[in-house]
């Protein structure tokens, strides 16, 4: 047995054991791997919205590397437009409540900046006129803010659109405003408006308004779109009807109503009109028209008319020397879809102007590319045919719009790279299941034109743009005259406006304000066209455009990209052509018809270069060091001036310079600086408080005191919880003799800060002034007891300092500081009384 066991294993058995061992080891490893593979390969539950690599999107594109970063800042509030409302009350689900409104930019006062008329949709159709939110005119103050023009005639309507046009040839812009059952013309006489009562206002639901001297007789005519023959019916909102397959209230469905005719007001030459739409064949009785665009699409010098119709075919009327020819179908633009807004521009720089049309939900927007130049060889008896082909899908403008309802739209070169970009306002017409019922907001589009190849929506890259809204109108203007085009969106459904200031990095650009000859000088040049040549590109622009119920600035902006401007050719509405040279880029020019020399209106500062930014901070840091550390005010003032030469809008720099000047006794100069800061930033508590304080301390008249009081009141309004401005305000009340107001302010200060010894001191003074010596003594005692709160040793507290480093600058701070804590009112108030008397002398 033993010897048997000592025999080596047979070859067969060794192989068997070895195989078993290897198989088992492999099995262990394989089971571990299998377990892992099993865990990793478990089928995951399907989630809606999953991304699948197998599903491709040929029509979408990644944003290319060269795309600009759109920078827009929402300045609505700072501009003073946040108070405007487009609706008062609750919707009653009736069509006229939801379709508007628009807005119109126009320089009504001729001061070189665009002012703004905001149309309000008013309110529910059931509301009384007085309850409707008013449409309002805002004057651009030139400092980035707007002020409502109080004397503009009150306009409470269920409003739709507005359009500026100098219909009486006096050189200033008049205004037409449309709405449900209303059509109003306001005559502008050197900035003063009056409603033209003689202007016919037929009943109807009037939408877009467009001015044009279509017959080239030297005066502006007016085309008005009629939407539908709406019948007010509150009960109709609960009846359901179908619109392109969607179930919506009957009263919100334009198909429920017959189309309204359009109107053509032909100017008689004296500012009065003759309505001739029907006789001229442009009443478009089958179209539910929303807006109409006058634009010379076939370059014959005569403005053609393209009408956007909702749920009915669009119409194109070619202008044949004053007569109209319906070319809707011949030109392939009789679009049957629900059209809202229109834009025109040569987006692909091929030498003819193209059209963009916004549509309803589930309908792609249309990019009608004009074949005019391409087809120039195909001349027929009528001349070159005008035809358009819809390129929306291929250029990124089609499918992206399927989920939204498009409204206002304009071509503009927001980054001045030489290619026309496109902004589109969106907002649904569907109601949400809310009480009260609201409409569904949607994101607007900001399409960047990638060198004519593709339009990329960059709105999501700009926070102020990427806000869903129930937008309707869209209008563009360089309201701050800084060279780039800013965007105004106006919302329906109880919204307001949004002014988005463009701060995108710009290429080279030029702006042209065209002034056509009128009887006694120069006036706006509606319909004029320019070709600006830069590099080897001819950029086409025209004074036209309606967006949706809106009007953009009539000043032309041409983005030139990297190129230098070489020449400009102006085609005036009257037919003359003018070549203009001597223009430089990055400037705003005025060109007058017949005057060879252009006038430079403005040359805004370009964005700071890196070197300038570096220099600014070096200078600014040196200035702050000189001011705060060295206390060398002369050097500091010089340095702050230098810093502000580089960046005139730097708030700290302005503020510090003002303070340095004040410390040096240069009061007027200091006040001017604080005024600049007050204009620059309406929420600058320090600017208003400092200005008010300095004004009060240096006052030599009651007017000055009043002005100081107003500034201080503004500071208190900006932050009513702070006590500093309230204290100086109380002091100005004392010196003006309004002791009760002062007492109230001082009590409030003491309520917020029971340790406010200065407030108690002045309250004591007021008691004493009113003969209550006992009360005064008591308050003086309490004032003398105020001081730092007791704290345990070693306990640090926020605000601890090693030495006092600030100075309370008020009218009486010095007097309070030198009070010896005596509670005898006579001596305690002697200095104060003298100071107050000094003020009381004027």
d(C-alpha 250, C-alpha 236), whole Å: 6
Q: With binding defined as CB under 8 A, does residue 126 bind other proteins?
A: no
Stretch that binds other proteins, among 96-104, 341-349, 648-656, 701-709 (CB under 8 A): 648-656
Enumerate residues 808-837 that contact other proteins by CB under 8 A.
808-810, 813
CA distance 342 to 330: 19
Answer for which of 49, 377, 575, 794 binds other proteins (CB under 8 A) is 794
Binding residues among 400-429 for other proteins as defined by CB under 8 A: none
Nearer to other proteins, 213 or 491 (CB): 491
CB of 630 to other proteins, least distance (A): 10
Kindly state the smallest distance separating residue 500's Cβ from other proteins, in Å.
13
Interface with other proteins, residue 721, by CB under 8 A: yes
Closest to 300 in 3D by CA, of 49, 498, 96, 575:
575
E-state strands within 296-444: 304-310, 315-320, 323-326, 339-345, 354-359, 366-370, 388-390, 406-412, 421-426
- Nearest approach in angstroms of CB 305 to other proteins is 39
Q: Looking only at residues 270 through 299 of this chain, which bind other proteins when binding is defined by CB under 8 A? A: none
- Cα separation, 271 vs 288, in Å, equals 28
Q: Are 615 and 632 in contact (CB under 8 A)?
A: no
> What residues numbered 24-53 form the site for other proteins, per CB under 8 A?
24-25, 28-29, 32, 36, 40
Between CA 512 and CA 524 the distance in angstroms is: 12
* Complex with other proteins: residue 539 or 743, whichever CB lies closer: 743
Q: Is 792 in the site for other proteins (CB under 8 A)?
A: yes
Among 610, 665, 701, 818, binds other proteins (CB under 8 A): 610
Q: Helix crossing, 667-680 with 685-697: angle to 10°?
A: 150
Residue (84 or 205) nearer to other proteins, CB: 84
Within a 10 A sphere around the Cβ of 40, how many other Cβ atoms? 7
Region binding other proteins by CB under 8 A among candidate stretches 318-326, 543-551, 789-797, 819-827: 789-797
Q: Is 320 in the site for other proteins (CB under 8 A)?
A: no
Shortest Cβ distance from residue 714 to other proteins (Å)? Answer: 13
Segment near other proteins (CB under 8 A); pick from 114-122, 261-269, 406-414, 611-619:
611-619
Stretch that binds other proteins, among 17-25, 434-442, 470-478, 513-521 (CB under 8 A): 17-25
- Please choose, out of 211-219, 450-458, 578-586, 686-694, the segment that lies near other proteins by the rule CB under 8 A: 686-694
| Residue range at the interface with other proteins (CB under 8 A); choices 165-173, 254-262, 721-729, 818-826 | 721-729
Q: How far apart are CA 648 and CA 635, in angstroms?
A: 18
Binding part of the chain for other proteins, among 13-21, 157-165, 252-260, 436-444 by CB under 8 A, reads 13-21
Residues 76-95: x where in contact with other proteins by CB under 8 A, - otherwise, as a string: xx----x-------------
Cα separations (Å) of 286 from 180, 252, 317, 522, 606?
19, 19, 14, 39, 51
> What is the pairing mode between strands 115-118 and 421-426?
unpaired
Q: Which is nearer to other proteins, 488 or 725 (CB)?
A: 725
CA–CA distance, 595 with 353 (Å, rounded to integer): 27
Closest CA to 282 of 306, 257, 299, 311: 306
Q: Quick one: which segment of 68-76, 154-162, 238-246, 252-260 binds other proteins (CB under 8 A)?
A: 68-76
CB of 632 to other proteins, least distance (A): 13
Q: What is the DSSP letter of 461?
A: G
Site string for other proteins, 617-636 (x = CB under 8 A): x--xx--xx--xx-------
Q: Does 597 bind other proteins (CB under 8 A)?
A: no
Furthest-apart CA pair in the chain: how many Å? 138
What tokens were used for 565?
């401007």
Whole-number minimum distance, CB 70 to other proteins, in Å?
A: 13
For 223: left if phi > 0, alpha if psi spans -120 to 50, otherwise beta; the answer is: beta
CA 804 to chain centre: 45
The residue within the footprint of other proteins, chosen from 126, 584, 614, 702 (CB under 8 A), is: 614
If 0-12 CB within 10 Å is exposed, 13-18 middle and 19+ buried, where does residue 466 land? middle
Nearer to other proteins, 331 or 749 (CB): 749
Nearer to other proteins among residue 1 and residue 128 (C-beta): 1
The separation between CA 745 and the C-alpha centre of its own chain, rounded to angstroms, equals 38
The answer to whether 121 and 159 are in contact (CB under 8 A) is yes
**Interaction of residue 789 with other proteins, rule CB under 8 A:** yes
Q: What residues from 723 to 752 belong to the interface with other proteins (CB under 8 A)?
A: 723-726, 744, 747-748, 750-752
Contacts (CB under 8 A) with other proteins, residues 457-496: none
With beta carbons less than 8 A apart as the criterion, state whether 152 and 135 touch. no
Stretch that binds other proteins, among 75-83, 209-217, 325-333, 422-430 (CB under 8 A): 75-83
Helices marked H in 681-738 — which ranges?
685-697, 702-718, 724-735
Give the number of C-alpha atoms closer than 13 A to the C-alpha of residue 135, restricted to the C-beta side.
31
* Size of residue set near other proteins by CB under 8 A: 81
Q: Which of 198, 668, 793, 820 binds other proteins (CB under 8 A)?
A: 793
Q: Which is nearer to other proteins, 300 or 651 (CB)?
A: 651
Instruction: Find out whether 355 and 291 touch, Cβ atoms under 8 Å.
Output: no
* CA 49 – CA 122 distance, rounded (Å): 40
Task: State the minimum distance, in angstroms, from the CB of residue 464 to other proteins.
Answer: 10
| Binding region for other proteins (CB under 8 A) out of 70-78, 100-108, 380-388, 472-480 | 70-78
Burial 147-174 (b: 16+ CB within 10 A, else e): ebbeebeebbbbbbbbbbbbbbbbbbbb
Distance of closest approach, residue 616 Cβ to other proteins, in angstroms: 9
Q: Which of residues 749-768 bind other proteins (CB under 8 A)?
A: 750-756
Find out whether 462 and 443 touch, Cβ atoms under 8 Å. Answer: no
CA quadruple 742, 746, 748, 754: dihedral, nearest 10: -170
For other proteins, the closer of residues 51 and 520 by Cβ is 51
Instruction: Select the span of 298-306, 438-446, 477-485, 651-659 touching other proteins (CB under 8 A).
Output: 651-659
Compute the least distance from the CB of residue 495 to other proteins, in Å.
11
Which span (340-348, 371-379, 451-459, 613-621) binds other proteins, by CB under 8 A?
Answer: 613-621
> Would you tell me how many other CB atoms lie within 10 Å of the CB of residue 320?
15
**DSSP secondary-structure letter at 629?**
I
Site mask for other proteins (CB under 8 A), range 156-185, x = bound: ------------------------------
- Do 227 and 206 contact (CB within 8 A), yes or no? yes
665 to 684, contacts with other proteins by CB under 8 A? 683
Q: Find the part of the chain contacting other proteins (CB under 8 A) among 211-219, 358-366, 518-526, 647-655.
A: 647-655
- Under 8 Å between Cβ of 110 and 116: no
Q: What's the closest the beta carbon of residue 751 comes to other proteins, in angstroms?
A: 3
> In whole angstroms, what separates CA 523 from the centre of its chain?
27
Smallest gap from Cβ 762 to other proteins, in A, equals 13
Chain residues 348-387 in contact with other proteins, contact rule CB under 8 A: none
CB-based contacts of 694, cutoff 8 Å, min separation 6: 662, 667, 670, 671, 674
Q: Which of 722, 738, 773, 831 binds other proteins (CB under 8 A)?
A: 722
Q: Give the residue with the Cβ less far from other proteins, 571 or 726.
A: 726
Tracing tokens 């088992």 back to the chain, one arrives at 24
Dist CA 432 CA 360 (whole Å): 17
């Amino acid at each position: 047995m033993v010897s048997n066991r000592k025999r080596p294993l047979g070859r067969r058995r060794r192989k068997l054991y070895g195989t078993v061992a290897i198989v088992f080891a492999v099995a262990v490893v394989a089971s571990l791997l299998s377990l892992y593979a099993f865990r990793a390969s478990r089928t995951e539950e399907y989630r809606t919205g999953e991304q699948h690599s197998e599903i491709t999107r040929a029509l979408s594109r990644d944003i290319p590397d060269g795309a600009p970063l759109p920078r827009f800042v929402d300045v609505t509030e700072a501009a003073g437009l946040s108070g405007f409302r487009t609706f008062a009350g609750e919707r009653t689900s009736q069509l006229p409540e939801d379709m508007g409104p628009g807005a119109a930019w126009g320089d009504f006062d001729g001061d070189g900046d665009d002012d703004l008329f905001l149309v309000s949709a008013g309110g529910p159709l059931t509301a009384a006129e007085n309850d409707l939110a008013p449409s309002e005119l805002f004057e651009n103050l030139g400092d980035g803010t707007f002020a409502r023009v109080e004397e503009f005639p009150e306009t409470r309507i269920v409003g739709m659109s507005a359009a500026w046009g100098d219909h009486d040839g006096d050189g200033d812009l008049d205004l037409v405003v449309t709405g449900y059952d209303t059509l109003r013309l306001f005559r502008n006489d050197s900035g003063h408006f009056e409603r033209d009562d003689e202007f016919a206002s037929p009943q109807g639901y009037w939408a877009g308004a467009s001015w044009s001297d279509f017959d080239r007789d030297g005066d502006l005519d007016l085309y008005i779109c009629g939407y539908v023959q709406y019948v007010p019916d509150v009960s109709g909102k609960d009846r359901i009807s179908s619109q392109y397959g969607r179930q919506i209230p009957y009263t919100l469905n334009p198909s429920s109503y017959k189309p309204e005719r359009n109107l053509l007001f032909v100017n008689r030459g004296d500012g009065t009109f003759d309505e001739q739409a029907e006789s001229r064949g442009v009443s478009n009785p089958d179209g539910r028209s929303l807006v109409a665009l006058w634009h010379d699409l076939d370059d014959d010098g005569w403005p053609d008319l393209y009408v956007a119709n909702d749920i009915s075919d669009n119409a194109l009327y070619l202008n044949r020397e004053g007569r109209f020819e319906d070319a809707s179908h011949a030109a392939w633009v009789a679009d049957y879809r629900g059209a809202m807004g229109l834009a025109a521009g040569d987006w692909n720089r091929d030498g003819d102007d193209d059209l963009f049309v916004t549509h309803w939900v589930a309908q792609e927007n249309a990019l009608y590319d004009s074949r005019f130049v391409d087809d120039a060889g195909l001349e027929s008896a009528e001349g070159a045919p005008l035809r358009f082909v819809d390129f929306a899908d291929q250029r990124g403008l089609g499918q992206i719009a399927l989920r939204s309802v498009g409204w206002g739209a304009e071509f503009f070169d927001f980054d001045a790279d030489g290619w026309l970009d496109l902004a589109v306002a969106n907002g649904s017409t569907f109601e949400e299941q809310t009480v009260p019922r609201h409409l569904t907001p949607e994101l607007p589009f900001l399409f960047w034109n990638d060198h004519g190849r593709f339009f990329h929506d960059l709105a999501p890259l700009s926070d102020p743009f990427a806000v869903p809204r129930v937008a309707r109108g869209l209008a563009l203007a360089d309201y701050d005259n800084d060279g780039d085009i800013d965007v105004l969106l106006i919302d329906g459904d109880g919204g307001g406006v949004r002014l988005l200031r463009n701060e995108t990095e710009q290429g080279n650009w030029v702006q042209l304000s065209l002034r056509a000859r009128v009887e006694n000088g120069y006036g706006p040049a509606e319909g004029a066209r320019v070709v600006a040549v830069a590099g080897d590109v001819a950029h086409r622009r025209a004074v036209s455009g309606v967006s949706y119920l809106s009007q953009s600035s009539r000043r032309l902006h041409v983005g030139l990209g990297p190129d230098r401007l070489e020449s400009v050719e102006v085609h005036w509405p009257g037919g003359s052509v003018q070549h203009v040279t001597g223009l430089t880029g990055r400037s705003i020019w005025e060109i007058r018809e017949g005057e060879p020399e252009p006038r430079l209106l403005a040359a805004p500062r370009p964005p700071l270069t890196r070197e300038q930014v570096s220099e600014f901070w070096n200078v600014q840091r040196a200035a702050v060091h000189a001011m705060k550390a060295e206390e060398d005010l002369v050097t500091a003032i010089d340095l702050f001036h230098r810093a502000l030469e580089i960046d005139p809008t730097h708030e700290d720099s302005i503020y510090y310079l003002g303070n340095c000047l004040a410390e040096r006794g240069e009061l007027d100069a200091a006040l001017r600086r604080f005024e600049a800061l007050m204009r620059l930033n309406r929420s600058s508590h320090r600017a208003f408080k400092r200005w008010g304080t300095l004004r009060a301390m240096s006052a030599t008249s009651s007017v000055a005191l009043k002005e100081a009081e107003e500034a201080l009141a503004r500071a208190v309004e900006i932050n009513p919880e702070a006590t500093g401005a309230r204290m100086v305000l109380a002091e100005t009340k004392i010196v003006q003799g309004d002791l009760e107001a002062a007492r109230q302010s001082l009590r409030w200060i003491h309520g917020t800060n029971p340790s406010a010894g200065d407030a108690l001191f002045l309250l004591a003074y007021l008691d004493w002034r009113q003969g209550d010596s006992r009360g005064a003594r008591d308050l003086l005692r309490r004032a003398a007891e105020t001081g730092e709160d007791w704290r345990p040793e070693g306990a640090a507290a926020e605000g601890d300092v090693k030495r006092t480093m600030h100075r309370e600058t008020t009218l009486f701070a010095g007097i309070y500081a030198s009070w010896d804590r005596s509670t005898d009112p006579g001596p305690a108030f002697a200095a104060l009384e003298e100071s107050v008397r000094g003020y009381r002398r004027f």
